[in-house]
Amino acid sequence: MTEHSQSPKRPAHPNKKRDTPSQQSAHQTPKRTPSKQPPSKQPQSADDDILDFAKVNYLTVTRQQHDQRVDNFLLGRLKGLPRSHVYNMIRSDEIRVNGKRCKPHDKLQRNDVVRIAPIKLATREKPVISPDFAQSLLERIVYEDEGLIVLNKPSGMAVHGGSGESFGVIEAMREATGKKYLELVHRIDKDTSGLLMIAKKRSTLKTLQEHLREKTLQKTYLCLVAGWISSETQTIDKPLLKYTLPATQEGKSGERRVKVDIKSEDSKPSQTQINVLQKFELNGQKVSLIEAKPLTGRTHQIRVHLASIGHPLLGDDKYNPNVAKGDKSVRRLCLHAYKLEIPEYEVITADLPDDMQSLVG
């Protein structure tokens, strides 16, 4: 019969008294065990693309997004998702920052963790950009340095995806350049051509947006408008109000529009300087080529201000009554962002595009 021997217990040190449990808790600080999140909750860097939108995602804010608003942070990561859906997610508590509710204008700090609930829309696929299209965009760059790209955007291309657009300029430029960080400094309408600023660094983005807020960055547009403007130089000073058209019979939500409204408390002060460059006739109709400088940055400002003085832009399907009635003699919105004057930069310009130049003659 085999005997199993047991190792003798080591005696306690003769001079050391063992604390009772109550004495231990009285003078010992328990060690904090780092909380480990399950694999599904492990945050990823906000610099990296989200790969699976159907699950909860946790993004860690880096120095690239430090001090960025929550709504702008989300729009940059949920590319192609309609803006209205992003704001609905924030309101519905589907977005949390460090486990807490947030608002669109809240500012993020480095190392914050943003929780994004699953997104069910099937618009999250990465856009497919053909090599030829990518090259055509790169050829439209008119200025570039270590922090800024200025692109001469073609008319008819949205600046970002969403609202029926699978992708826009910013998504296409990210693909074309292979750069992880590219952000729009500002926006111009889909049908407007001309200079668009894209930041390659967070510091450049903040600096240029500060110039826009302080009105130390001047943008100048070239426009073709109906009629001959009598006053060669003037400033249009009329408050503007955003509104939404009534829903259509099909139940679709109405389009966003802007109008002059001097009575509403929600109207925003708005000023546009205009200077007439040329007067001529196009197909028997009087037309003016003008230079317009928006002194404020309201949605559709130039278009609405010029329509309000009886000289709507040619090709404007929203604010030109003739176009709204079916006049297709001019096939594009005749608005071109042609000059940028930025402090400490050279003046940047983009010539009038061929389709507008052909109308001037």
Catalytic residue numbers read 189
Vertex 103: Cα angle to 101 and 109 (nearest 5): 85
Residues 6 or more apart whose CB falls under 8 angstroms from that of 356 comprise: 193, 222, 224, 332, 334, 336
Q: For the chain, what is the radius of gyration of the CA atoms?
A: 29
Enumerate the β-bridge partners of residue 134: none
Q: What is the DSSP letter of 346?
A: -
Q: Which residue blocks in the chain are alpha helix, DSSP H?
A: 21-27, 70-77, 83-91, 131-138, 169-177, 202-214, 301-308, 321-324, 354-360
Residue pair 301/319 in contact (Cβ under 8 Å)? The answer is: no
In total, the chain counts a number of residues equal to 361
Phi and psi based region of residue 202 (left: phi greater than 0; alpha: psi -120 to 50; beta: remaining): alpha
- CA-to-CA distance for 113 and 286, rounded, in angstroms? 58
Does residue 223 contact residue 300 with C-beta atoms inside 8 Å? no
